[in-house]
Structure 1
Amino acid sequence: MNKLHQIELQSPIGIVEITGTEEGILSIFFKEHEAIVHHPQPDTPQVLKDCQQELAEYFRGERMEFTVPYISTGTEFQGKVWSALTTIGYAETASYRDIAVKVGSDKAVRAVGNANSKNKLSIIVPCHRIIGSSGKLTGYAGTLSRKEWLLEHEKEVREKNIL
């Protein structure tokens, strides 16, 4: 496997750690402790720098879609769930049941929730857009307060762009 690289981005809701190789992004996670942000090094692959830039644009309200290549590893079912997550539009939400139906397993709501929790590509594979069928915010590895912020941020950006 190619050498792993990491860079970070200070976002309005904490430090985002980006990990990847020359080929693509492997993970995007919020760090739970504040630290000095690690900036690109001379050997940092362009794909990580591009991801950092696209995420910065997202947080500034200038980007609604991502173009950086990413590599997701998981089971076939997890892959179907993660692919379905990418079809949820910016500032939109879906329920676990909606995703279960989309992947052809309408009874697999809990399995969808489990696959959602294993998503390593926060924001780019938008697991924050999944809510409970009651409309309530439910689990998010990056914390519910961040999930709420991300959803509100997207709504505000969309409203500004509509007006």
Structure 2
Amino acid sequence: MPEPYIRVALPGDEEQLSLLDRLTWSALHAVTPQPRPPHAPFFSDRHGPQDCLVAELDGRVVGYVNLGRPTPLASNAHVRQIQGLAVHEDARGRGVGRALVRAAAEEARRRGARRLTLRVLAHNTPARRLYESEGFAVEGVLPGEFLVAGEYVDDVFMGRPL
């Protein structure tokens, strides 16, 4: 089985990434409404192509991870945060998510970060298992932080040193 190829996103990836966002949307992980066509731009002031790592299998975009700063404060500049991760259903179970998490850690380290954090919904067991297996630990829980599909869901804060 080929390894996923991970690279920094290009502006020309926007349409594929927007489609991937729509295809992978789920109440298991999303706290925003389901995206509908016509799609909104994938890149924004918050996440440009330089903040997104893309996974390819067989020359096809099958996943991404957005890496950002949790705050604009200089005192927090040593921390990077995973601010979105998606893997196409056809590519699940092929190591794409793990490769993206590892690449995000490497890129955060390259950018001078000493810590990597993320937030994940408590009921997203597959993602939590992946993050834990990659060295993330639960550092806090915000009980009932989000109302998703009619149910209150805890927001779990996880982090790890780099």
TM-score, normalised to structure 1, is 0.26
The structure that is helix-richer by fraction is 1
